[in-house]
Amino acid sequence: MHGMINRPPGAAAYGNIATSRVVLLLLVVMTGIAPISLYMLVPALPVLASTFGRDISIAQMTVSLYMVGIACSQLVMGPLSDKFGRRPVLLAGLALMVAASIACIFADNLPQLIAARFFQALGGATGMVVSRAIIRDIYERDRVASMISLVVAALMIGQMLSPLTGGLIETAFGWRAIFYAITIGAIAVAVGIAFALPETRRSRAAGSGFRGDVGMLIRNRAFVGYVLCQVLASQIIFAFAGGGPYIVVTQMGRSSAEYGAWFATTGFAYLVGNLLCVRFAPRHSLEKLIWFGLGLQLCGSLLNLLWSLTGWNEAPAWLFGTQMIVMAGNAFVMANSAAGAISIRPEAAGTASGAMGFLQQGIGALMSQFGAYLGGHSTTTLPLTSAITAISLLCAATMIFIVPRREVVVSEELIEQAEEEESGMM
pLDDT tens, 105-136? 999 999 999 999 999 999 999 998 888 888 88
Question: Cα separation of 83 and 89, whole Å?
Answer: 10
Span 167-196, average pLDDT = 93
Cβ-Cβ contacts under 8 Å for 49 (sequence gap 6 or more): 55, 56, 58, 59
- Decide which of 190, 211, 232 is a domain's last residue: 211
CB neighbour list of residue 197: distance below 8 Å, 6 or more residues apart: 23, 26, 86, 87, 90, 134
User: Which pLDDT tens digit goes with each residue over 33-59?
Assistant: 998 898 888 778 888 888 888 887 788
Looking at residue 36, which CATH number applies to its domain?
A: 1.20.1250.20
224 and 370 in a single domain? The answer is yes
Return the pLDDT at 327: 94
% the chain with pLDDT above 90: 35
Residues 233, 380 share a domain: yes
pLDDT of residue 16: 60
| For residue 98, pLDDT beyond 60 | yes
218 belongs to a structural domain: yes
- Residues 6+ positions from 77 with CB-CB distance below 8 Å: 89, 93, 125, 126, 129, 130, 350, 354
Each residue of 132-174: pLDDT tens digit? 888 888 887 667 777 888 787 777 777 777 877 888 898 889 9
Same domain, 97 and 221: no
Assigned domain for 196 exists: yes
* Residue 415 pLDDT > 50: no
Contact between 65 and 114 (Cβ < 8 Å)? yes
On whether the CB atoms of residues 90 and 137 are closer than 8 A, the answer is no
Q: In this model, does residue 257 exceed pLDDT 80?
A: no
Residue 68 lies in a domain: yes
Predicted local distance difference test score (pLDDT) of residue 426: 41
Assess whether 159 and 270 both reside in one domain. Answer: no
Split into its structural domains, the chain has a count of 2
In a domain, 6, yes or no: no
> Which residue range is the domain that position 37 belongs to?
11-211
Spatial contact of 285 and 407, defined as CB atoms under 8 Å apart = no
Report yes or no on 76 lying in a domain: yes
Contacts of 400 (CB under 8 A, 6+ apart): none
Position 44 scores a pLDDT of: 84
Shared-domain flag, residues 133 and 278 = no
Q: Is it the case that residue 290 has pLDDT exceeding 80?
A: yes
Are 199 and 287 found together in one domain? no
What's the pTM?
A: 0.74
Q: Is the pLDDT of residue 74 over 90?
A: no
- How far apart are the C-alpha atoms of 33 and 154, rounded to whole Å? 12
Angle between helix axes 126-138 and 349-376 (nearest 10 degrees) is: 130
Helix axis angle, 210-218 to 61-84, nearest 10°: 100
**Is the pLDDT assigned to residue 10 strictly greater than 70?**
no
Average confidence (pLDDT) over 5-30: 64
Q: Under DSSP, is residue 199 helix (H, G, I), strand (E, B) or coil?
A: coil
Same domain, 207 and 217: no
Least confident of 68-77, 139-148, 367-376: 139-148
Whether residue 43 is contained in a domain is answered as yes
Q: State how far the Cα of 71 lies from the Cα of 105, in Å rounded to an integer.
A: 23
pLDDT at 209: 62
Question: What is the secondary structure of 365-378 as a DSSP string?
Answer: HHHHHHHHHHHHT-
Say how many Å lie between the first and final Cα of the chain, rounded: 14
* Same domain? 159 vs 229: no
> Using CA atoms, how far apart are residues 297 and 293, in angstroms rounded to an integer?
6
Instruction: Compute, in degrees rounded to 10, the torsion defined by CA atoms 295, 301, 306, 311.
Output: 150
Q: How far apart are CA 9 and CA 124, in angstroms?
A: 30
pLDDT of residue 120: 96
Write the DSSP symbol of residue 251. Answer: I
- Tell me what the mean pLDDT of segment 357-380 comes to: 82
Final residue of a domain: which of 211, 236, 263?
211
**Mean pLDDT over each residue of the chain, to the nearest integer:** 82
One domain, residues 66 and 199:
yes
The answer to whether residue 319 is domain-embedded is: yes
Range of lowest pLDDT (201-205, 207-211, 249-253, 395-399): 207-211
Which of 95-99, 119-123, 391-395, 403-407 has the weakest average pLDDT?
Answer: 403-407
CA atoms within 13 A on the CB side of 63: 19
Confidence of residue 305 (pLDDT cuts 50, 70, 90): very high
Say which range, 97-101, 240-244, 331-335, has the weakest mean pLDDT.
Answer: 240-244
Sign of CA dihedral 188, 274, 70, 215: positive
Model confidence at 409, in pLDDT bands (50, 70, 90)? very low
Residues 138, 246 share a domain: no
Inter-residue contact 349 to 291 (CB < 8 Å)? no
Contacts of 64 (CB under 8 A, 6+ apart): 365
**Does 183 lie in the same domain as 74?**
yes
Q: Within a 10 A sphere around the Cβ of 177, how many other Cβ atoms?
A: 16
**Residue pair 221/282 in contact by the 8 Å Cβ criterion:** no
CB neighbours (10 Å) of residue 85? 16
Are 322 and 174 part of one and the same domain? no
In a domain, 426, yes or no: no
